[in-house]
Every structure is written in C-alpha cells, then in structure tokens.
Structure 1
Amino acid sequence: MDELQTDSPQRLDPQPGAKLIYSVNERPPWYLCLLLGLQHYILAFGGILSIPLILAEPLCIKDNPAAQSQLISTIFFVSGICTMLQTTLGTRLPILQGGTFTFITPTLAILALPKWKCPEEGLTPDPNCTLVPASLLDPEEAWKVRMREIQGAILVASLLQVTLGFSGLVGLVLKFIGPLAIAPTISLIGLSLFIQAGQKAGAHWGISALTVCLIFLFSQYLSKVDVPLVTFKDKKWKVFRYPLFKLFSALFGMCGAWLLCFLLTHFNTLPISPADYGYKARTDINLDAVTSAAWFLVPYPGQWGLPTVSLSSVLGMMAGALASTIESIGDYYACARLSGAPPPPTHAVNRGIAVEGLGCILAALWGSGNGTTSYSQNIAALGITRVGSRLVLQTTGLLMVILGLFGKFSAVFITIPDPVIGGMFLVMFGMIAAVGISNLQYVDLNSSRNLLILGFSTFSGLVLPTWFHSNPDMINTGITELDQLIMILFTTHMFIGGFFGFILDNTIPGSDEERGIKRWRENLHDGTSLYSTDQSCYDLPFCMPFLYRYRFLQHLPFLPVLKSQDEGTDL
C-alpha cells in the first residue's frame, strides 16, 4: 500500500493550500483512527438503525424485540463488512456503506401485497393464501418467510449493479457528465433531506439549535485552538498541543447536547407525556430497547433460511438498485472533493458501483432486509472534521462489525434524542448541498445557458418528487412492476436533477469552456495543484506490480489505466 505513515503530532499542520489535517492516503495514529471511526459510527447510527425499525411492522415483528435486535445486529454487521470492501477494493475513497432508503420503497410495496399482510392477533391465516398455511401458523416462521422474499429480490436485483460496474457501462456514461450534471445531483442529496432534518430538529428546536451551535463552535470558532495534552515518551512526560476541537467537532457537539438532554431528563425538566412538545428530547424513551437487546449475537448467511425469488419482487427492487447507483455516483465526487482526492476516474467509479452491488448481495445473503449504499452524512463529516483518511473509515467498518456483535452496546445509542440528531442533520446535509454547489466553480455562471440548465434541473429535482409523493395513485399503467419503477425513479430527487442536468448540458449548444468541461477534465488528470494527492489513491492495494506485469489487464474497465514507471505518463 502506498499510504504515508503518519504518527507524530507535528503532521497536523496541513500542507499549503490543502485545508485537510489528513488526506485520503494518510494514516492518523491508531488512537485517532478509533475515535474518529467511532464518530463516523455514531453519525451513521441513526440512518442505519431506522431501516430495521421501519421494516418491523410490515415484517410482522413490531412486537418482537428479539427479532428486531437480531435484525439490527445483522444490518450493522453487514454494513461494516461492505464499508471495508468499498474503502479497500472499491473506489478506495473514505466512504461509509450502510442501509439504503432506495430499497425501502419497493420493500414496502412488496410487503403490502395481500398475500404478505400480517395476520391479526389471535387469528390464523387465510387457508386460501398462496403461501403454505403451515408456514404462517408459527409467528417466527411468519416473519422469516417474508424476509426470505425480500432477500431473494435484493439478491437478484443487485446483479444489475454488479453488471453495470464490471462491464464499464457506468464509466461510459461518465464521459458525458460535467459539472452541470454533477452539481444538481450532489446538491439535491442534501436538499432533498430537509424534511427528515426538520422533523427531527422540530422535536425540540432549543436542543437542535444547541447542537448546531456546538458543532459550529468546535469546527469553526475553536478550529485553531490546540488543546494542551500530556504524553509519556522517551521516559519523560511531555506536553504537546492537539487540535481536538477540529478533529471531533461533530462528536463533541452531539455529546454535549446529549448530556444536556440526559440531565434535563434526570431532573424531569422535559415533558413526560408523549403528546407534549419536547418529549422526544428525553433520553429514557428507548431504554426498553437496551434491556431487551441480546448481549452477544453472531449473524451468518442464511440465518432466516434460503431466499425465495419472484419476478415481480425482483423488478420492483431493480428500480431501487438503479436509484442507489445514481445516488452513489454523486456521493463519490462529493467524497473525493472533501478527502483531498481528485475527481474519481472511470475505473474507480466502475469498481465502486460493482462493489456496492456485491455488498448488496452480501446483505441479502445475511438477511438484513435491505441493501447497502454510500452514506452522505458521513461524507459531509469529512468536510467538518477535515480528516479524509481512508484508514479512519476502514476502522469504522471494523468497529461496525465488532460492535454489531454486541447488541447492548449498539442499543445504547438508540437513546440519542431526535432533536440532537436533527441538529446534526441540519449541519451535515447543508454541507452536502454546499459541496454540490462548489462544482460550479468550473462553469461560466455569466452564461444564461448554464443558469437555465442549473436552475431548471435543481428546481425540477425538488418539485417532481414532491408531486409524485403527494399523488401516488396517478401512476397506473396496469403493470404493477412498471408502476413501481416509475414511482421510485420519479420520487428520487437526485435522479431527476441529475437526469435533466445531463440531458440539457449535452443537447443545448455550448463550448467546453462555457460548460466547464475543459477545466473539469484538466483537474481530473491534475492532482498536484488543487488536491492533496494524485490519482494513485485509486490504485488497488498489493496487486499493482501484478498489473504492471500483465498489462493487458488495463483494458478491463474496472482496473486502473497503468502508467509508465519510467516516464510517469499514461500508456
């Protein structure tokens, strides 16, 4: 591996022009990796945890805390494995993989079919049901047979992502993508989440505002304040200064607000009735989840039985896989920009999408009830903490695997109040939107052509999904699978914005300079002036000498284009 070994505190001064403490190839000390990895774990916790909680009712385990605990442990365990695969063999960017909401819509649509409806308590299933009646008489088997249907749909649908990546089809499309397509795609990743952020922050605006203020305080106002720390080295005690506030701004901000909520709960200052405003700021709401969680649990493939496959379920789930692919491409560019890496080359994007598909297959085999995708909030955290090291996210993946085995530990974080998470979302999602906008630095913003494309694609990406969400019955082609496909694509903000930006930018006449294509491509191949590293950060570990030996492998669309070791130029 070609990462730089970095263990001394003196390395914390960033390189000239690089606003990062650690860039993608650099290796922070092990204790920093653990703390920063735990910070990423906490940031992703709410999003990953919400998926099994959403699926609990349609899977008929709403009143089965043991099954919910198993499902939670499984999805964290698989997310950790997929994160390590993506950061090591995929794009090799510091990008976290977790449960995806793009698979939630088709999953809910599948489980809403009459044959999958949960039997009412005390009643036996309809003997005319298409399922084997005996399989539904046992409550345990009742939810497992539903899970196996979802597993089969995700397993087959994920082959679409694998094919798109390894065949290079994703990379072919990338040749026609410029800043005017990337900017609305990335921006809408953040802008489209304003409802979720508002719902959680609105549970108690005072606590949410405190969380935001603390994150700003640590990440900006105190970013240049180095905290004196003591270390024992060379048989003597030494004092050195460390930028703790800058490194752990999100973690300190959340923990500070979380501590206040705990104190307010302890002294019964917050409302005790669920109907009262501010009740969700209490830290004792989900204590039952902690007590009911298992101490130790090892998830394994096929733990719910062999997956079952049906055509209608697979076609509906393929729409989710396609939407996840489109979203992840935008995430790759945002992650590269915040980690000090140049924009990802074609082979890295191809490989990243293929590995995401493989990750979804693993999630289906383990039975998480979901797939995996790139997590936007963790990408935003790179910009706030200014640590874009790949090793930190690899550590996060390892923590997710290990801590996924300890149900009690993971359940503790369920007690983080909604307004604290909402305040964090306000900062993180805003950062993602700003990263998307920053891509416009390559574009001529005095051009009415560019302003029209940018404005229409971004605004359409907000309007159309909102309308389709409000009018779901308007889609009625007579083919259920086609209805699901249309509904999922047209309710995906990033797809709408990116689609219009891509089509208009490639059909409306404009010069490469006006479109920003020329500067975009120059920066794509130049990693020395604006970035902390060059495109070697996308090289695969350990096998580069093998690729140099068998140069015909460079023609595979998911492997790096080799360079002359003597001249350093592309072959």
Structure 2
Amino acid sequence: MENKAYEEEQDDGIKVCTGVEIRENRPIENQTKTKDGDALLYSIEDTPSWYTCVILGLQHYLVAVGGLIGLPLLVASPLCIANDDEGDVARALLITSLFFVSGICTILQTTFGVRLPIMQGGTFSFLPPTLAILALPHNQCPAPLPEGFMNSSKTLYNDTDGSIVDGAEVWQRRMREVQGAIAVASLVQVILGFSGAIGFLLQFIGPITVAPAVALIGLDLFSAASYNASPQWGMAMFTAFVLVLCSQYLKNVKIPLPAYSSTKKCHIGRTPIFKMFPVLFALACGWILSLIFTVTNVFPNDKNHPYYRARTDVRSNVISNAPWFYFPYPGQWGLPRVTVAGVIGMFAGVIAGVMESIGDYYACARLSGAPNPPKHAINRGIFTEGFGCVLAGVIGTGTATTSFSENIGAIGITRVGSRRVLQVAGCLFVILGMLSKFGSIFVTIPDPIIGGLFCVAFGMITAVGISNLQYVDLNSPRNLFIIGFSLFMGLAVPEWMKANRGIIQTPSVEGNQIITVLLQTSMLVGGFLAFIFDNTIPGTEKERGILAWRTTEHGVEPMDEDQMKKAESECYNLPFPTNCCRFSRFIPILPEFGQQNVTVSEDNATSTRI
C-alpha cells in the first residue's frame, strides 16, 4: 500500500505534515487508540519507512545489549576462561554467538512464531542449572601453570590427571557439556508447543492469573536494575531522567526535520522524535556524559572502586580482541556432550522459561495494540522458542533464549509496537553479531546507564500486569485475596530461597536443582498460586473478569466473536495460507486448529503479511 504521511490540522484549517511516514497495513478504523487518546505511534501491523525502522530497531538493539552481554561474562569464570588476551577473545566470541542466535530467534519469532513484536535473548532461567553442571567435580577448573611456561603464547593448565592442556580446550570441553544439556532439554519445550499442551491450559487462564504473573516479571527484575545501577546511581538516575523527560514530558513536542511523502515529496515536516526515540536519547546522553567523566578521570581507574563500572573503557579489551568477522556455526566448540544429570537439571530452566514467556506474550500484546494471543499463537510461540533454545545449544552460547522483558517495557515507553521494527532489530543482531568488531562497540555501554533504563522499563512491565485488573471486580473479597496473596508469595518465596541456598535437600541432586529453580522464579510462584485459586475458589465469570477480558481489544471497547476472530487473524495468522490442507485443524500451531470446517478463503490468502 502506498506510503502516507500523518497530517495534523491547525487552528487556521491548514494541515501540516508531521514528518512521520507510515505505510498503513491495516484499515484506519482498526488503528489502536487508547482511552486517554495517547495512541500508539505504530501498532503491530504498521510498517514505518525503512530509515525509521532502522533507527527504531537500533533503539531496541541497544536496550537488549545490556541484558545480553551479562550472561556470557557471568559464565566465563565457571567455564574456566582465563583472564588474559586469549580469554578476552573467548568472551568476545561468546557474546558474538549470543547476539547472532538472538537475532535469528527474534526474526523467527516475529515472523513465524507468536508474531508479536517481541525480542528473543539470553535467559537467566538456565543459569542456575548451568552453574550446577559446571560445579560438578569433573568440571572443576584445573590449576594454571606458571606464567610464561614453555614460552607459549597460549594459556596452559595442569589438568586433574597431571597432563598439560590448552586453555581453549579446558573451557570448550565444559561448554560442550552445557550445550548438550540445553539442546536436549529444550526439545521438551518444542514438544509442549507443537502438541498444544500449552494452549490447552489457556482456557483456564484469566486476568486474575495474568495480572500477578506479569507484574511479578517486572518486580522480580528490580535486583537486575539495582545491580546495574549500583556502581553509580547518579549516572543511572540521569539516564532515567532523560528517558522520562523525553517519553512523558516532551512526547508531544514536534521538531522540524527534513521529511518525504508521496504527495509533498521532500519537505520540512514536524516529527515527535522525543516520543519515538526516548531510549536512544537517554542512552546517548548517558554514554556521552560517562565518556567525559572517564576521560577526565572523575570515575577512577581502580577496579576496586565502586565507580569503576561506570567507566566507558571497562570492556574496551573486548573491542580490541574481537575479530573483524566471525560466523557462529553449530559445533563451533566441538560436538555437544549429553549427560543425564545435565539434561534433567536443565528441565527447570525450560519450565521457568515457558511460564515466563506466556506472561510476556500477554504483556507485549497489550502494549503493542494487539488482542490477547489465541491458543495457536502461544503454541507456535513456545514451539519457536524451543527451537531457538535448541539452536542456542548446538551453536554454544552458554545459555538458551527466551522473550526479553526489557524490550517489552521499551514498547510501552516509546509507543512503537510495530512487528517490522523488531524484525529489523533481529537483523541488526545477526549483522553486528557477524561483524563482531562493530558489535562489540556497544558492549562498552556502562552498567549504570543500562540500570537507569531498566528502572523505567521494568516499572512499565509491572504496571501493564496490574492494568489487567481493570476487568476484575475489585470489590470482591475473593479476588482481593487471590491477587494479594499471589503477589506477596511471588516475592517472599523466591527471596527466602535466595537467602537459604541449598535448603532443598531430597535424595535426587537433579530434583533439588529443579525445585530450587522453580521456587526462585517469582513469576512462576505467583502465577501458579493465582491460577490454582482462581480456578478452584467459586466465582462468576463476570466477577473474575473473564468475559470482559476475552472480548476486549487492548482495553478499549468490547468486540463480538466475529470481530475478535478478525482482529486475531490480522495479528496472529501466519504470513502464508495455512487452510489448504484438510488436516490443518488437527495441528495445534496452525490458526485453523480446533475449527470444525476449514475452507480456503480469499481473505486468508491475501490478508496475511510478514
């Protein structure tokens, strides 16, 4: 469809182009509006111009970078990666591999998976079992040899049997065991999605279950925000201040900029750049200020000083040691090794990741102007995530992938919910993952700046979870009990588990790991309790908010069944016809799943889009 520029009518009747160019993929009557009139700049089916997509995609890339680089750096030490030039190269390759896999998984998820604008990235759910595997006796790091031994430029170790081994082989051997555990355990996630088991549970899920589950995603991440911001709270709050200033106070300010439209061609238009790119402005301002303080040594160059992590040169060695071009491929560290103990331990990460992703889907749908995801979309999303986890395992990133809550929060801040923007962000991850020298530049973003962004983004996710309660009767003692108890226990139980590590003692070591990981996941604890109570304590569907929640699109107005199906098909149908097979209604990941009669319609063939 032809590109069009938004126009705004002034008091004198003259229409002035805003400079924001949009290719409309949905009828104007279906565009997302909110009760307060603060409409999305781009809803899920909208396609911004290519240059706008690139800038918005880069914005999402920068939001995700902070969360992605942390995992490879956390597992580097347990993997026995040395703290030298060779070890720095290994860390750079791990980061590159995770960027590459995250980009591929994001493209697959937004195009063929749940089809929401949702970023895929490394998950901390798999970290506890990974550390448990690396803590096993046969994975203990060997003693290093004296520096300069045999005048070798490589790091050498005195292994457990007294032999001298190459440092690269030491950590790659441990990585192969982690790879095998992740890849095999993730096949369970693939089966859960493809079989429709996840979609079956959705018929028992309502706003009382979703509200505490999604809210706890944001509340549980306060530690990640605090950890990143703690080295220099001044920088973190400065970044958060710029982000709030741009996204809330300056969101209606339009700046004259060169623009292009099919009617006016090249001209000067007014664009709400503060509303579109608040994260980019916040990152740039924080990064520049931190660079000035680094050059002038306001932030001391002492690794033991708390302000050290606020410097921009903390990870500069990653840039210098990263190769110019690197293509991650399956088996790059060798053939993955599968152990029963490792696979069973990883099951906990799989279950926690699945439950967290379901909550993320609902949060992302609400923020991007989409109806609640239907069964087939969630089945397909979990199936695609499982495939992505298997891919991460065989390539060797040190972790698996899942939905990134940080970027969901960014959608709420920027008011940009376009699927195409996240597809572009995925492409940026793939490209900059292969051009690792350029991609490593963004690794130098100081932790406090990332922490400031997280403070705002995670708060937005928490608020989105709570907003689901608008459909519920909040005068009902039944509902108040379920919501309050689920939220409280979702915070209390994981906190108790973290303060009493090793408290779970059963005859099975793998069982201890699974129970520990599950009880440490706030969203899982709170969501499970809300799910059980909401489906066992008597209450009407109106009281529980089921009817209003399922027949309302993004909290605006109720829709009948035909309108709901049309809205769902626009957002969640695959980008190619799927009703050409008579057996498609038996496949849980297809839109026709469960329908009695499947016929090929012209609308289905022409309305699907990538």
Aligned mate of 1:32, from 21, 28, 52: 52
Matches within 5 A, 1:362-441: 362-441=391-470
Selected match of 2:570 from 537, 559, 571: 537
1:90 & 1:459 partners in 2: Cα distance? 33
Q: How does 1:131-142 map to 2 (within 5 A)?
A: 137-142=165-170
- Report how far residue 523 of structure 1 moved: 2.4
How far has the Cα of 1:538 moved from its partner? 3.9
Shift of residue 242 of structure 1? 1.0
Matched, 1:163 2:163: no
1:16 & 1:415 partners in 2: Cα distance?
37
Distance 1:452 1:526 in 2: 24
Distance 1:240 1:177, change over 3 A: same
SS state of the match for residue 302, structure 2?
coil
> How far off its partner does 1:528 sit?
7.1
Q: 1:119: which partner in 2? A: 142
Asked if 1:307 corresponds to 2:336, the answer is yes
Q: Structure 2: state its 5+ residue gaps.
A: 8-19, 23-27, 146-156, 605-610
Whether the 8 Å CA contact 1:6–1:27 is kept in 2: the answer is no
Name the structure 2 match of 1:130: none
- TM-score for both structures, normalised by structure 2: 0.87
Instruction: Give the stretch that moved more between structures: 263-272 or 232-241.
Output: 232-241
**Could you say which residue in structure 2 is the equivalent of 1:556?**
587
Distance 1:110 1:567, change over 3 A: closer
Pairs within 5 Å for 1:208-247 = 208-231=236-259, 237-247=266-276
1:461 aligns with 2:490: yes
- Give the direction of change, closer, same or farther, for the CA distance of 1:5–1:43 in structure 2 (3 Å limit): farther
The corresponding residue for 1:75 is 98
Q: CA-to-partner distance for each residue in 1:280-320, whole Å, 9 max, x for gaps?
A: 22212222222111111111111111111111100000110
User: Structure 1 16/146 Cα, relative in aligned 2: closer, same or farther at 3 Å?
Assistant: closer
Deviates more, 1:401-410 or 1:459-468: 401-410
Q: Deviations over 1:179-224 (max 9, x none)?
A: 1111111001100011121122222222111111111111111111
1:302-341 maps to which residues of 2 (within 5 A)?
A: 302-341=331-370
**Aligned partners of 1:198 and 1:422 also within 8 Å:** yes
CA deviation vs aligned residue, 1:147-170 (integer Å, no higher than 9, x gap): 111111111100110111000000
SS at match of 1:548: coil
Q: Does 1:98 align with 2:121?
A: yes
Do the aligned partners of 1:228 and 1:241 also contact (CA within 8 Å) in 2? yes
**Separation in 1, partners of 2:481, 2:265:** 65
- C-alpha distance in 2, partners of 1:483/1:111? 16
Q: Is the 8 A contact 2:100 2:429 kept in 1?
A: yes
**Which whole-Å deviations, capped at 9, do the CAs of 1:26-76 have from their partners, x for residues lacking one?**
110000110111111110001111111011011111421111111111111
More off after superposition, 18-27 vs 107-116 = 18-27
Name the Cα RMSD after superposition: 2.4
SS at match of 1:284: coil
**C-alpha distance in 2 between matches for 1:555 and 1:528:** 32
The answer to whether the 8 A contact 2:21-2:260 is kept is no
Aligned residue identity for 1:82:
C
Instruction: Report which stretch shifted further, 521-530 or 100-109.
Output: 521-530
How far 1:118 sits from its partner (Å)? 0.8
- Compute the displacement of 1:239 (Å): 0.8
The structural deviation recorded for 1:277 is: 4.2
Q: Which residue of 1 aligns with 2:505?
A: 476
Counterpart check, 1:17 vs 2:45: no
Q: Are the structure 2 counterparts of residues 441 and 138 from structure 1 closer, same or farther at C-alpha, using a change threshold of 3 Å?
A: same
The verdict on how the C-alpha distance between 1:448 and 1:115 changes in structure 2, with shifts beyond 3 A counting, is same
Give the 3-state SS of the residue equivalent to 1:489 in structure 2: helix
State the SS of the aligned residue for 1:278.
helix
Looking at structure 2, the residues matched to 552 and 34 of structure 1 have their Cα atoms a distance apart, in angstroms, of 40
Q: Is the 8 A contact 1:93 1:335 kept in 2?
A: yes
Q: Do the aligned partners of 1:7 and 1:29 also contact (CA within 8 Å) in 2?
A: no
- Asked if the contact 1:24/1:537 (under 8 Å) is kept, the reply is no
Please state how far the C-alpha of 1:525 moved relative to its aligned partner: 11
SS, match of residue 126 in structure 1: coil
The answer to whether the 8 Å contact 1:525/1:535 transfers is no
Q: How has the CA–CA distance of structure 1 residues 139 and 274 changed in structure 2, closer, same or farther, with 3 Å as cutoff?
A: closer
1:11-32 Cα deviation digits (max 9, x unpaired): 6799572420111111100001
Contact 2:199 2:378 in 1 (8 A): yes
**1:297 has 2:326 as partner:** yes
- TM-aligned CA deviation for residue 454 of structure 1: 0.3
One-letter identity of the residue aligned with 2:481: L
Supply the distance in 2 between the matched residues of 1:459 and 1:6 (Cα, whole angstroms): 49
The residue number in structure 1 matching 2:299 is: 270
The aligned counterpart of 2:5 is 8
- Greater percentage in strand: 2
Q: CA deviation at 1:5?
A: 6.1
Aligned position for 2:67: 47
The reply on whether 1:494 has 2:523 as its aligned counterpart is yes
Whether contact under 8 Å (1:341, 1:537) holds in the other structure is no
Output one character per residue of 1:424-468: Cα deviation in whole Å (capped at 9) or x when no partner: 010000000000000001100111110110000011000001111
Question: Is the 1:95–1:375 contact (alpha carbons within 8 Å) kept by the matching residues of 2?
Answer: yes
Take 2:381 and 2:3, find their aligned partners in 1: how far apart are those partners?
Answer: 27
Alignment-derived partner of residue 250 in structure 1: 279
The equivalent residue for 2:532 is: 503
Match of 1:109 in 2: 132
Aligned residue for 1:346?
375
Structure 1: which 5+ runs fail to align?
A: 128-132
Instruction: Work out whether residues 345 and 524 of structure 1, in 8 Å CA contact, stay in contact via their aligned partners in 2.
Output: no
Asked if 1 retains the 8 angstrom alpha-carbon contact of 2:110 and 2:422, the reply is yes
For 1:285, which of 303, 309, 314 is the aligned residue? 314
State the number of aligned residues.
557
Q: Percent identity?
A: 50
Partner of 2:150: none
Amino acid in structure 2 at the alignment position of 1:84: I
- Counterpart of 2:128 in structure 1: which amino acid? T
Q: How many Å separate the matches in 1 of 2:540 and 2:603?
A: 33
Distance, in Å, in 2 between the alignment partners of 1:525 and 1:167 is 28
**In the aligned structure 2, how far is the partner of 1:453 from the partner of 1:207?**
39
* Residue 182 in structure 1 maps to residue 217 in structure 2: no
2:326–2:436 Cα contact (<8 Å) kept: yes
Correspondence list, 1:350-361, <5 A: 350-361=379-390
Determine the C-alpha separation between the residues in 2 that align with 1:360 and 1:405.
19
Structure 1 residue matching 2:80: 3-state secondary structure: coil
Counterpart Cα distance in 2 of 1:237 and 1:538? 33
The DSSP-based 3-state class of the residue aligned with 2:268 is: strand
